[in-house]
């Protein structure tokens, strides 16, 4: 058990004993190699269920809005338990975003910040075994031992199987917390965090289209990306609306494109690139390609990164008179 995990269990038990929180949201093993699921604890002795390791990729902020009720609407009083949550850099940014969008109350929340060394992409780890299924995996320092269903063992470097969003991550420690358990030892990468987008941009118009067609033609419209995303808390998603009906319930390519373009546009100025959608996609579609493009544009055009602090205005809820309009026809 890592030091951080041990400290986390102690801290959570303490919070329950001191009656600081009524509920704690953390990670527990999911029974599948390299996967954890969210768990909801309500007493000190349950704290032993918690884990903290490189497979805690789930963005726990996604579970928070449903824990708080506000019958009087946006201006009403919260009916809310006091909730504790463990947050790595991206989770904490999502929490900042949700507080700013008035979906969760800051004063009912106790955030335990942890430094993150990057999360494993399960598809990449399993890929080391070829087409064989992954039976077991052991994280061992900076390397990962994967064991296939027929007993074959392989050792891969942790750095090689990190999720793409973790590879380019610049905010590994929590940006908002009540107590910080650890700082990350990993430095932010030297290369641009938009390297993937820049590479895609350098292709021709038709190459880009062809590539996205090959990606999105695999989409089965299961909406796992939406469910995993902390930003997707709308009571009725545009994809489910019938009046107006934005898109048909088909896997016809134009419908799939409207869904993914709509999803990306709704994330504009809000996406923190946590990679939860990519991790949730059963078809292995590179959903990050669209989200990161918008993140890149938002940063270049408006000079902000989403949800880094409670004070800064979100990009699309503000404007400047001198905003770029070179994209316009005869501005």
Partner 1 sequence: MTEKKGEKTSGNGWEPRIVAFLCNWCSYAGADLAGVSRIQYPPNVRVIRVPCSGRINPLFVVKALQTGADGVLVSGCHPGDCHYISGNLYARRKFALLKSLLEYVGIEPERVQFSWVSAAEGVRFAEILGKVIEAVRAVGPASKMVKELEEVT
Stretch that binds partner 1, among 16-24, 112-120, 177-185, 244-252 (CB under 8 A): 244-252
Q: Is the omega angle on the peptide bond into residue 14 within 30 degrees of 0, that is, cis? A: no
Give, to the nearest 10 degrees, the angle between helix 253-266 and helix 205-216: 100
Sheet harboring 36-41: ordered strands across? 36-41, 23-29, 83-87, 109-113, 179-180
The minimum distance between CB 126 and partner 1, in angstroms, equals 29
Q: Dig out the tokens for 43 from the structure.
A: 């007493």
* Residue 23 φ/ψ, nearest 5 degrees: -150, 145
**Could you tell me the smallest distance in angstroms from the CB atom of residue 32 to partner 1?**
33
CA torsion 286-287-291-292 (nearest 10°) is: -20
Distance, CA of 145 to CA of 54 (rounded, Å): 13
Site for partner 1 in 254-283 (CB under 8 A): 254-255, 257-258, 261-262, 264-265, 268
- Please report whether residue 329 would count as binding partner 1 according to CB under 8 A: yes
| Shortest separation between residue 214's beta carbon and partner 1, angstroms | 12
| Contact call for residues 193 and 169 (beta carbons, < 8 A) | yes
Among 178, 240, 297, 299, binds partner 1 (CB under 8 A): 297
The answer to whether 316 contacts partner 1 (rule: CB under 8 A) is yes
* Span from 26-34, 63-71, 164-172, 239-247 in contact with partner 1 (CB under 8 A): 239-247
CA distance 284 to 215: 9
Distance CA(201)–CA(291), nearest Å, equals 14
Site track 149-188 with partner 1 (rule: CB under 8 A), x = hit: ----------------------------------------
| 287 counts as binding partner 1 under rule CB under 8 A | no
- Least Å distance, CB 280 to partner 1, is 21
Q: Which stretch binds partner 1 (CB under 8 A): 31-39, 56-64, 67-75, 315-323?
A: 315-323
The answer to whether residue 324 forms part of the interface with partner 1 (CB under 8 A) is yes
Helix (H) or strand (E) holding 180: strand 179-180
**Interatomic CA distance for residues 69 and 218, integer angstroms:** 37
Q: How far apart are CA 259 and CA 108, in angstroms?
A: 34
Measured from the CB atom, the residue of 155 and 218 that comes closer to partner 1 is 218
Which residues in 18-160 belong to E strands, given as ranges?
A: 23-29, 36-41, 83-87, 109-113, 134-140, 143-148, 153-157
Interface residue with partner 1, options 7, 293, 299, 312 (CB under 8 A): 293
**Least spacing, CB of residue 246 vs partner 1, in Å:** 6
Tell which one of 16, 110, 177, 302 touches partner 1 (CB under 8 A): 302
Q: Is 239 in the site for partner 1 (CB under 8 A)?
A: no
Binding site for partner 1 (CB under 8 A): 200-201, 205-210, 212, 238, 245-248, 250, 252, 254-255, 257-258, 261-262, 264-265, 268, 290, 293-294, 297-298, 301-302, 315-317, 319-321, 323-325, 327-331
């Amino acid at each position: 058990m890592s030091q951080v995990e041990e400290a986390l269990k102690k801290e959570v038990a303490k919070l329950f004993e001191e009656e600081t929180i009524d509920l704690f949201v953390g990670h527990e093993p999911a029974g599948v190699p390299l996967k954890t699921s969210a768990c909801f604890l309500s007493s000190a002795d349950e704290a032993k269920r918690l884990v903290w390791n490189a497979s805690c990729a789930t963005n726990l902020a996604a579970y928070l809005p449903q824990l708080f009720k506000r019958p009087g609407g946006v201006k009403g009083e919260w009916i809310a338990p006091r909730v504790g949550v463990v947050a790595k850099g991206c989770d904490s940014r999502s929490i900042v975003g949700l507080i700013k969008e008035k979906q969760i109350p800051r004063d009912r929340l106790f955030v335990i910040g942890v430094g993150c060394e990057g999360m494993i992409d399960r598809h990449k780890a399993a890929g080391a075994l070829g087409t064989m299924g992954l039976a077991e995996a052991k994280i061992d320092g900076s390397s990962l031992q994967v064991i296939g269903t027929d007993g074959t063992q392989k050792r891969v470097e942790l750095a090689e199987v990190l999720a793409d969003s973790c590879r380019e991550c610049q905010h590994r420690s929590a940006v908002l917390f009540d107590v910080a358990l650890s700082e990350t030892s990993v430095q932010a990468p030297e290369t641009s965090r938009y390297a993937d987008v820049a590479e895609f941009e350098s292709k021709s118009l038709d190459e880009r289209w062809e590539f996205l067609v090959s990606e999105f033609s695999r989409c089965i419209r299961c909406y796992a990306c939406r469910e995993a995303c902390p930003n997707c808390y709308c009571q009725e998603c545009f994809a489910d609306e019938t009046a107006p009906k934005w898109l048909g319930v088909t896997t016809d390519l134009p419908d799939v494109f409207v869904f993914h373009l709509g999803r990306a546009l709704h994330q504009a100025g809000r996406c923190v690139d946590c990679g939860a959608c990519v991790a949730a996609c059963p078809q292995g579609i590179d959903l990050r390609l669209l989200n990161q493009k918008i993140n890149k544009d938002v940063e270049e055009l408006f000079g902000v990164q989403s949800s880094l602090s409670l004070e800064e205005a979100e990009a699309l809820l503000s404007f400047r008179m001198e905003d770029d309009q070179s994209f316009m026809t005869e501005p």
